[in-house]
Chains A and B, each alone.
Chain A
């Protein structure tokens, strides 16, 4: 069964303390892995799309990487405003062509 698992469920960092969030997937024939940021009471905000193993994308303090089994969202020297829930989603495998399956997210808190 196609699955997307994110870990950890919650992560608390001190400002400037770099770390990584994990997204493991079992979808075969990946047609895209997506990272989103979601603030409380708001809809997800698009960050990155990755399509093939070895691909990397960066935006400010965030860097997303992809292997055949998982993706990492690396956060370098985070600031309190990086606090949010980070969601990953995949499209591919047995999922209908239009489905994008989301993980449950990692809730990140960055303390000053």
Chain B
């Protein structure tokens, strides 16, 4: 079946601009996670959704980052006033309920110039 998909695959934006990154989880998966991965590092947790609500947003680095999942399926990660330090690969994962193995999408490579 279809895996987790993310769009766009690459995004180049100028410092100070607003960006949206989209994640389509595996159908039927109730839990959705966002991670950020810098070069040579493992993924770093950002936020977790159970259904429509953000059950845990403790990993978001600051208030420029926000994520939504209005219908309990697709999620959008929003970054305001982007900074060069936001450049990374943003990964989305989903699982069938919390605590089960997570299945990752291919990621969105964000470059802030």
Q: Do A and B come from one complex?
A: yes
Name A's B-contacting residues (CB within 8 A): 4, 31-32, 34, 36, 41-46, 49, 87, 89, 91, 96-105
CA distance A42 to B55 in the complex (A): 26
The residue among A4, A36, A91 with the most chain B CB atoms within 10 A of its own CB is: A36
- Pick from B42, B91, B107: contact of A104, CB below 8 A: B42
The residues of A that contact B4 with a CB separation of less than 8 Å are 43
The number of residue pairs between A and B whose CB atoms lie closer than 8 Å in the complex comes to 58
Q: By the criterion CB–CB under 8 Å, are A104 and B55 in contact?
A: no
Chain A residues in 8 Å Cβ range of B45:
98-101
Given contacts A34-B101, A96-B56, A98-B98, contact A103 B106 (CB under 8 A): no
Min distance, Cβ B87 to any Cβ of chain A, angstroms? 16
Neighbouring A residues of B102 by C-beta, 8 Å:
34, 46, 100
With A32-B99, A96-B58 given, is the CB distance from A43 to B106 under 8 Å? Answer: yes
B58 to chain A: which residues have CB within 8 Å?
96, 99
| Known A-B contacts A43-B104, A96-B58; A102 and B42 likewise in contact (beta carbons under 8 Å) | yes
B107 smallest CB distance to A (angstroms): 5
The answer to whether B42 touches A87, judged by C-beta atoms less than 8 angstroms apart, is yes
